[in-house]
């Protein structure tokens, strides 16, 4: 038996956001584009949760899970994957971990220009990746089955992915985009 991700889990989160968006002063300060950006970022975070935590085994059989070991030595598992695994598996593991956080580094400065500072983005993405790995380890120890392994390389690859996303964001001329996203709906109507 396992707990699988159900998209219906997202509905309360989206309803809370929509309540803030329509019922508070904060929500009225943002344009429709700003709200769409926030909603897409929230949906992206929900996808991260779905990909990194589910399914969660609820029994002790572990029959549908591979036996895994934790990797505490930086670059050890990545080196083994690149050396011994098939190219498809290597691309899935290494490329997937890079790609998982690339949107995070790319979208964060759009949400708030305060995050358009590489050390902040790197520290936040590192902290979230570290939190994901430790939570996976905690769940593994709690359910006493082969759930997911702790891999320090995942933290590094996720952080590098966020850095690549932040650098990609800097390559795009964003002044016009920021103006359109940051202009509240009432002001946007007066400009047209």
- How high is the pLDDT of residue 28? 85
The tokens for 34 are: 């700003």
Q: Which of 15-19, 36-40, 62-66 has the lowest mean pLDDT?
A: 62-66
Per DSSP, helices labelled H in the chain are 10-23, 25-28, 32-53, 76-84, 87-90, 96-111, 118-143, 152-171, 175-182, 185-191
Q: How far is CA 80 from the centre of its chain?
A: 25
With residue 57 as reference, give the H or E element that holds it: strand 56-57
- How high is the pLDDT of residue 190? 38
* Burial class (CB within 10 angstroms; exposed 0-12, middle 13-18, buried 19+) of 81: middle
Asked whether residue 185 carries a pLDDT value surpassing 60, the answer given is: no
pLDDT in tens, 81-135: 999 999 999 999 999 999 999 999 999 998 888 999 999 999 999 999 999 999 9
pLDDT in tens, 165-178: 999 999 987 666 66
Using a CB cutoff of 8 Å and minimum separation of 24, what contacts does 24-33 make? Answer: 28/184, 28/185, 28/186, 29/184, 30/181, 30/182, 30/184, 31/180, 31/181, 31/182, 31/183, 31/184, 31/185, 31/188, 32/185, 32/188, 33/180, 33/181
Q: Write down the mean pLDDT value for the chain.
A: 86
Asked whether residue 191 carries a pLDDT value surpassing 90, the answer given is: no
| Top-confidence residue, 105 or 182 | 105
Asked whether residue 64 carries a pLDDT value surpassing 60, the answer given is: no
Query: Mean pLDDT, to the nearest integer, of 16-43?
Result: 90
- How high is the pLDDT of residue 180? 60
Asked whether residue 189 carries a pLDDT value surpassing 80, the answer given is: no
Q: Are residues 57 and 145 in contact, defined by beta-carbon separation less than 8 angstroms?
A: yes
Asked whether residue 79 carries a pLDDT value surpassing 80, the answer given is: yes
- How high is the pLDDT of residue 63? 47
**Residue 14 neighbours by CB distance under 10 Å:** 13
Using CA atoms, how far apart are residues 69 and 123, in angstroms rounded to an integer?
A: 26
Q: Write the DSSP symbol of residue 3.
A: E
Domain interval for residue 135? 2-191
Query: Mean pLDDT, to the nearest integer, of 75-85?
Result: 91
Give the total number of structural domains in the chain. 1
The tokens for 75 are: 């670059």
pLDDT in tens, 130-169: 999 999 988 888 877 777 888 999 999 999 999 999 999 9
């Amino acid at each position: 038996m396992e707990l699988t991700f159900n998209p219906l889990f997202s509905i309360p989160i989206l309803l809370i956001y929509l309540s803030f968006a329509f019922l508070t002063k904060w929500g009225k300060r943002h344009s429709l584009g700003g709200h769409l950006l926030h909603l897409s970022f929230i949906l992206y975070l929900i996808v991260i949760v779905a990909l990194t935590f589910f399914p969660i085994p609820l029994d002790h059989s572990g029959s549908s899970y591979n036996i895994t070991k934790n990797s505490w030595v930086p670059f050890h598992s990545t080196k083994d994957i690149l050396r011994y695994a098939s190219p498809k598996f290597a691309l899935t593991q290494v490329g997937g971990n890079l790609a998982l956080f690339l949107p995070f580094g790319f979208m964060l400065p759009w949400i708030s220009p305060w995050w358009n500072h590489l050390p902040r983005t790197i520290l936040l993405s590192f902290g979230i990746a570290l939190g994901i790995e430790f939570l996976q380890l905690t769940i593994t120890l709690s359910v006493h089955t082969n759930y997911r392994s702790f891999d320090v390389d995942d933290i590094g690859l996720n952080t590098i992915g966020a850095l690549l996303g932040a650098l990609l964001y800097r390559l795009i001329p964003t002044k016009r985009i920021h103006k359109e996203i940051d202009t509240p709906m009432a002001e946007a109507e007066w400009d047209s």
